[in-house]
């Protein structure tokens, strides 16, 4: 069996200008692993204001994986862990590693002639309920949010995530908190009770201000509050939960199962959001989900970048008994990103389905890929952080 990784190709993709919905994803990073028998596996790494550092880290991971047996995922990851001294605290390193891990699973599935989800326990959830994100670019008033929210409902979505906090960061005024509440109230009034409203806080607040904002929103029955406090303020989560009954969701900045275990076991999170492009990949994601399941915690994977990430996330979603809902930016992507896969998954009526083909179930359009190769940092706007949806921080 020819299961050695013969060649590694790393691609930075993008186009001039930034995306309308997601400036942090104006570039994406892909890795292509080619086996000794010519099979190809694809993986993806995130680029949130760190495109070039992650790209360089991918070259470090290549030194471990090139020539290795792609079936030996545990060994290859541990070999990198042993060599990467700061791995547990370096999102650049774990992101690079995640891309190679993901691509290894794509190769394994193709070698076995089975989709990855069949190798992880088989199909448990299908179709996969999605929530839309990125839909509220340039929204500032309640009417702005309602108009665009209705458009997403017409597309079939029954859940949507958004950040109603405008330019407030670290602290929020009473007026700002009330205005956020008015935005959520308007959506609830116009969309009704059958649409779930997921509140994105972006880890932007000190604890007392997170509570202030959440109190104004909680009467309108949000699905969750995501990252209500700064990510390093773990102690603030316990205080937040003393006053707010709505579930707390977080996890896109947590890099491994051990750090997830600490937060879960302390009762600080209700819904975890591992990102398969930075938490060391699909197998680690499966382990994280199992730990969460032992504590009755649900899983809603973070998914904000490109179609290879989505395909990997869906393969895991299919298998999880404690799956909640899947993030989707697809409706807000530029055309090139929508067309990057010739074969893959479908999004219809607010639900995802996979192709069922071996590996991740995808085929990348390499002709299109070659027209989108770029080199450099992602765009930067000094007036608006790169992590917001465009036009909402002003």
| Ranges assigned E (strand) in 163-317 | 196-200, 224-226, 248-250, 271-272, 298-299
- Angle at CA of residue 217, ends 214 and 221, nearest 5°: 115
Element holding 363 (H helix, E strand): strand 363-364
Show which residues are catalytic.
Answer: 202, 302
196 CB-near residues (< 8 Å, 6+ apart): 131, 158, 159, 160, 223, 325
Q: Convert 352-385 to b/e letters by CB count within 10 Å (16 or more is b).
A: bebbebbbbbbebeeeebeebebeeebeeeeebb
- Angle at CA of residue 308, ends 223 and 260, nearest 5°: 50
Residue 194: exposure state from Cβ atoms within 10 A (0-12, 13-18, ≥19): exposed
Report the distance separating Cα 201 and Cα 265, nearest Å: 23
Residue 374: alpha-carbon gap to chain centroid: 22
Tokens of 50: 């760190």
Q: What is the dihedral of CA 186, 190, 196, 198, to 10 degrees?
A: -30
Q: What are phi and psi of 326, to 5 degrees?
A: -115, 130
Report the distance separating Cα 158 and Cα 24, nearest Å: 25
């Amino acid at each position: 069996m020819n299961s050695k990784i013969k060649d590694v190709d790393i691609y930075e993709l993008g186009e001039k200008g930034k995306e309308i919905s997601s400036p942090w994803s104006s570039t994406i990073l892909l890795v292509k692993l080619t086996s000794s028998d010519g099979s190809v596996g694809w993986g993806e790494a995130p680029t949130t204001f760190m495109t070039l550092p992650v790209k360089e880290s991918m070259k470090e991971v290549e030194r471990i994986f090139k020539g290795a047996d792609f079936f030996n995922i545990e060994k290859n990851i541990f070999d990198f862990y042993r060599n990467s001294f700061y791995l547990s605290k370096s999102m650049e390193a774990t992101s690079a590693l995640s891309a190679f891990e993901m691509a290894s699973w794509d190769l394994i599935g193709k070698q076995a002639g089975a989709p990855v989800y069949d190798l992880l326990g088989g199909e448990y959830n299908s179709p996969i309920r999605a929530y839309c994100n990125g839909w509220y670019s340039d929204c500032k008033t309640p009417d702005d949010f309602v108009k665009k929210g209705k458009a997403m409902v017409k597309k079939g979505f029954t859940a949507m995530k958004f950040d109603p906090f405008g330019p407030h960061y670290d602290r929020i005024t009473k007026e700002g908190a009330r205005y956020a509440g008015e935005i959520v109230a308007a959506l609830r009034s116009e969309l009704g009770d059958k649409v779930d409203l997921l509140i994105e806080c972006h880890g932007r607040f000190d604890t007392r201000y997170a509570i202030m904002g959440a109190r104004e929103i909680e009467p309108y029955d949000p699905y969750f509050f995501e990252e209500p406090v700064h990510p390093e303020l773990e102690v603030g989560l316990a205080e937040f939960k003393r006053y707010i009954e709505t579930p707390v969701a977080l996890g896109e900045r947590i890099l491994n199962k051990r750090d997830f275990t600490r937060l879960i076991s302390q009762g600080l999170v209700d819904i975890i959001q591992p990102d398969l492009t930075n938490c060391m990949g699909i197998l680690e994601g499966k382990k994280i989900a199992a730990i969460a399941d032992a504590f009755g915690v649900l899983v809603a994977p973070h998914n904000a970048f490109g179609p290879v990430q989505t395909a990997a996330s869906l393969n895991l979603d299919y298998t999880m008994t404690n799956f909640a809902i899947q993030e989707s930016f697809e409706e807000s992507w530029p055309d090139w990103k929508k067309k990057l896969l010739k074969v893959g998954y479908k999004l219809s009526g607010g639900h995802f389905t996979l192709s069922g083909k071996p590996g991740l179930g995808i085929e990348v359009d390499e002709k299109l890929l070659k027209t989108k190769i770029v080199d450099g940092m992602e765009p930067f706007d000094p007036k608006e952080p790169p992590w917001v949806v465009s036009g909402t921080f002003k």
